[in-house]
Every structure is written in C-alpha cells, then in structure tokens.
Amino acid sequence: MAVIETRNAVKRYRTGGETLEALKGIDFAVEPGEFVSIMGPSGSGKTTLLNLLGLLDDPSEGQVLLDGEDVTGLTDSEQTAARKRTIGFVFQNFYLIPTLTAKENVEVPALFDHDPSVEERSVDLLERMGLGDRLDHKPDELSGGQKQRVAIARSLINEPRVLLADEPTGNLDRDTGRKILDEFVDITERDVAVIAVTHDELVNEYVDRTVRLVDGLMGEDAPATGRSPDPTPSPEADAVGSTDDGLTGSDRP
C-alpha cells in the first residue's frame, strides 16, 4: 500500500480578483522505500504538491492519504501531530536553528516529548551521517553539506515513513550533492520513502522514478535511467511517456 498518496488533488489560489489553479488534479502515490523525484519548471506546482504531501496545506479539491487514511480536513493540531509522526522535511536552505548545536538541532522535533532516549538517537543519527565529531558545533561552524546532513538527521529523529526534500542539493556543490543523495538512497533502504522536488538533473541518477509537473498537470513517470531528461519539458515531451492523455495527464499506469 502507498505510504502517501494524492487523489485528484486540485489547489487554487486566489490572488487579487483572479483564481490561479496551481494543481489541476494530481493523482500521485509513493510506496515505502521508494525514491521519487518531482521535476518541472518554476511555477509548475512542484512546491504546492510538496506542501500538500507534507500536510502543510489543504487541497481545494481531492484527497491526501497517509497510510491509506484521508488526512484532508483534519484540524491544525491533528495535521501537526500526523506530520510529526510520519513526515520528515529537508529544505534547500537547511533551516537549522543558528543558536542550537548540531545535536540540539537534530533533537528539535522531539523537544517537547520529554523522551530521554532522544539524545541517544540524535547522536546515533549524526554518527550515521558521518558527523560524530561535529555534535557540539553550531550551524555556522559547519559546511553546507554538513548542514544538510544535520537537517537530514533532524528529519529522521522521529522515525518518519516519508521524507520530503525541497531542492535538497540546490545549495550544494556537485560532489557534496552526490553524498547527500547517497544518504537518501541509504534511507530508502530502511523502508522510508523519499520524495525530492528538484531542478537538479543529478538527482535523477539516484531515484527510482521521476515525476514531471507542467502547469499543474502531471506529465509522466519516467524511470531515472535510460533517458536524458529535458530540463524544461514541453507538453509534447511530457506526452511521450503517457501516451494518450498528455494534456489532462493525471493518471499513472
């Protein structure tokens, strides 16, 4: 069963007098342990989809399912609890708290749990990320790659089922980006699904499949290998993968 899923998700924004449809009916599902990238040009709705998947936003229409359970329309506090239980976030800008050490940053999501095992878990995670000697360093004493690894450790502290990454390699050089992507592959081997929204073609060398979004529509599901993806896919390019419904393009086989 899919760990996270959207069914005919539509998201509209009202800006001024106009209504902008950012997502026009997305059906999307990820299995446990799968590594999926979502690609597409700016304004295609990638971030909106990630927000829906991360329970940070509600769809205007359609459903979001977490472990087969409909989580749309939950209260803020229920969504927050579900987020904490199931979802980890990794951001392009790392968003570490500058006043806390690496170890404390990793413990942040569990800060209010009064759980004595958190410290042990955070040290374990940081050691797994190769940061065993950086536990008490503040973020400004860490390199970009180290910061992103702290952020990944933070996203894993509550043992989530899904990890959502927004441009995880966006602020990293290529070598460091590869190391981070290797970490993601490691994570998927522990049955955690990783969904990365990205512009970076490098990511596609690591993912199980790539999903392309164009103008709020899902273009195709392409395997990561064997195809050289177009950085700015046109609707025709999208139509290649899913034969008959390139424009309405909402169905996965």
Position among 16, 116, 226, 231 found at the interface with other proteins (CB under 8 A): 116
Q: How far is CA 171 from CA 154, 156, 238, in A?
A: 18, 20, 28
If you ran DSSP here, which 8-state letter would residue 215 be given? Answer: T
Distance, in Å, from the CA atom of 131 to the CA atom of 49, rounded to the nearest integer, reads 32
20 binds other proteins (CB under 8 A): no
Choose between 104 and 208: whose C-beta lies nearer to other proteins: 104
Choose between 19 and 80: whose C-beta lies nearer to other proteins: 80
Other Cβ atoms closer than 10 A to 199? 16
Please name the residue that has the structure tokens 């998201």: 11
Q: What is the smallest separation between the CB atom of 216 and other proteins, expressed in angstroms?
A: 17
Greatest CA separation found in the chain?
A: 55
- Alpha helix segments (H runs only) across the chain: 46-53, 76-86, 102-107, 118-128, 144-156, 174-189, 235-241
200 binds other proteins (CB under 8 A): no
Only one of the segments 110-118, 139-147, 218-226, 229-237 lies at the binding site for other proteins (rule: CB under 8 A); that segment is 110-118
Only one of the segments 75-83, 140-148, 192-200, 220-228 lies at the binding site for other proteins (rule: CB under 8 A); that segment is 75-83
Choose between 111 and 247: whose C-beta lies nearer to other proteins: 111
Choose between 157 and 222: whose C-beta lies nearer to other proteins: 157
Exposed, middle or buried, 218 (CB in 10 Å: 0-12/13-18/19+)? buried
Residues 210-239 that bind other proteins (CB under 8 A): none
- Compute the C-alpha angle 63/65/71, nearest 5°: 75
Q: What is the smallest separation between the CB atom of 117 and other proteins, expressed in angstroms?
A: 12
Only one of the segments 65-73, 86-94, 215-223, 238-246 lies at the binding site for other proteins (rule: CB under 8 A); that segment is 86-94
Position among 8, 91, 179, 186 found at the interface with other proteins (CB under 8 A): 91
| Residue 1: half-sphere exposure toward Cβ, Cα within 13 Å | 7
Q: What is the smallest separation between the CB atom of 111 and other proteins, expressed in angstroms?
A: 4
- Is the torsion defined by CA of 103, 107, 108, 111 positive or negative? negative
**What is the contact surface with other proteins in residues (CB under 8 A)?**
51, 54, 56-57, 76-77, 80-81, 83-85, 88-89, 91, 93, 95, 97-100, 104, 108-109, 111-112, 114, 116, 154-155, 158
